[in-house]
Amino acid sequence: MNFRYLCLCLVFLANHAHAALWREVGTVEETGTQVSVDDSTLAVDRGSIVTGWVKFDFAKPQERDGQKLSGYISHRMVDCAANRYWVMEGWGYPSSNAEPVRLYSTTQEWQMPPPDSEAEIASAALCVESQTIFEQLGITARLQIVWGMLQTFINRSLMIH
């Protein structure tokens, strides 16, 4: 009976949706659009490729795919080394309390973010996160090496006495 309960709990936890952890990373001066990144979705792959969800809150409604939107979120892949991005999925919000609308990208290729744009702010924010993650991994690896050396030293010291 306890095993079944444990399995049921694990299935529930595995399927439980996570809450977005939006963190504002910048504002587009020209339009007033606020750009945020969901820290809980960031992932780094193959050195300079970063994926994550990005949110754009428009100061004034903007048109995308023929609809007036107050906001937009997209799942992006950014190649930080080449300064290009790919929108894998996008959703628009017609108003703050309306159901999201799926948006389909007409461009199925890597794009260069225009200067001073929401895409440039989003790409830069995701790339900064990748550097932070790599720096943390580097520190972790160094600490593991030092810890291993310390353990070896302690073990040798104990064997001598």
Q: Give one DSSP letter per residue of 67-108, joined into a string.
A: EEEEEEEEEEEEETTTTEEEEEEEEEESSTTSPPEEE--S--
Range of 75's domain? Answer: 17-156
| Site of tokens 């104990």 | 158
Cα–Cα distance between 67 and 85 in angstroms, integer?
Answer: 23
- pTM for this model (two decimals): 0.67
Each residue of 51-102: pLDDT tens digit?
Answer: 999 999 999 998 887 889 999 999 999 999 899 999 999 999 997 677 889 9
The percent of the chain in helix, strand and coil, each rounded to the nearest 5, is 35, 35, 25
CATH code assigned at 70: 2.40.128
Cα 91 from Cα 76, distance rounded (Å): 12
Q: Which two tokens stand for residue 114?
A: 């225009």
**Residue 20 pLDDT class (50, 70, 90 cuts):** confident
Q: Look at residue 118 and tell me if it is in a domain.
A: yes
Rounded CA gap, 146 and 137, in Å?
14
The 3-state DSSP class for residue 62 equals: strand
Task: Kindly state whether residue 101 falls inside one of the protein's structural domains.
Answer: yes
For the ranges 2-6, 41-45, 52-56, 113-117, the lowest mean pLDDT is seen at 2-6
* Inside any domain, residue 12: no
Residue 58 located in a structural domain: yes
Residue 11 placed within a domain: no
Residue 99 lies in a domain: yes
DSSP assignment letter at 26 = E
Section 142-155 average pLDDT: 74
Residue at 1 is within a domain: no
Supply φ then ψ for residue 43, to 5 degrees. -145, 140
Per-residue DSSP letter, 44: E
Residue type, 46: R
Query: What pLDDT does 92 receive?
Result: 93
Residues 111-116: what's their mean pLDDT?
A: 92
Q: Is the pLDDT of residue 17 over 50?
A: no
- Average pLDDT, stretch 31-39? 93
Total domains, the chain: 1
Report which DSSP code applies to 107.
-
Write down the residue that tokens 């080449």 correspond to.
82
Residue 3 belongs to some domain of the structure = no
